[in-house]
Amino acid sequence: MASRALILGARSAISLALARELAEAGWDLVLAARRAHELEPTAADIRLRCGGEVFLQEFDALNFEGHAALAQAIQHNAGDFDLAIAVFGYMGDQLAVRSDTEEMQRTLSTNFVGAAVILAHLANYLETRPGNCGIIGISSVAGDRGRQSNYFYGAAKAGLSSYLQGLRNRLAPSNVHVMTVKPGFVDTPMTEGLEGLFLVASPQRVATDILRAYGRRQDVLYTPWFWRYIMGLIRIIPESLFKRLKL
């Protein structure tokens, strides 16, 4: 029986690249997203090209009432799964978020609270599964240090990174491996039009890095690799100087 991966936020460019790579490697898939039915052409293409099973599942990161029942719903519709990948996120308007309460709440809830709650429920499910299972959480280099240009988004991603670290610690004695992914700038609709982008990676490059690192059971992945060193330098800038920089 093939392994099955659940991709949360399956409409994103990174998600679609991950889905194709996993399918090519022999995985069956559950693509979970809002308006999941719109992914049927993508699912049909993957089935045709790779021959595996692809199921669609409705999922909204902000519909907290539905989180606890998601694993059971997937079991009923598609069967058991061995890997959960949380890819969803929300960048939003970084000027509006300073004063718009709804934008603040959406940014924090999507990028941290929604991810933490759904992964808590999925962790409980995966912990009961036999064999090697895993959770991959897509955080961001933005969480490594707060910057004026995106500190709401960065704060949420910092919280997610800390949460995944704690979840990894909790699940280390079990069969569930938890990996934190910290991408730099990626060429996706979420970053389109943003100023100051550099060293922008393709979704395919990021997906390849993620699956290679997961295969090695890596704990934390910076992708592309050089962001580990860029963020290392940014973290050691003294606060007295850093607070004067426009980043």
Q: What pLDDT, on a 0 to 100 scale, did the predictor assign at position 12?
A: 94
Residue 193: what pLDDT? 47
pLDDT of residue 92: 83
- pLDDT of 187 reads 77
Residue 88 lies in a domain: yes
State whether the Cα torsion 144-145-150-156 is positive or negative. positive
Q: Is 176 exposed, middle or buried (0-12, 13-18, 19+ CB in 10 A)?
A: buried
Q: The domain containing residue 67 runs over which residues?
A: 4-242
Residue 247 forms part of a structural domain: no
Note the pLDDT of residue 164: 98
pLDDT at 94: 84
Residue 140 lies in a domain: yes
Q: Are 135 and 115 in contact (CB under 8 A)?
A: no
CATH number at residue 224: 3.40.50.720
Q: Is residue 210 in a domain?
A: yes
Domain assignment of residue 130, yes or no: yes
Asked if 122 and 164 touch (Cβ cutoff 8 Å), the reply is: no
Q: Quick one: pLDDT at residue 186?
A: 86
Classify residue 116: in a domain, yes or no: yes
- Domains of the chain: total: 1
- In the chain, which residues have pLDDT < 70? 1-2, 188-199
Mean pLDDT of the chain: 93
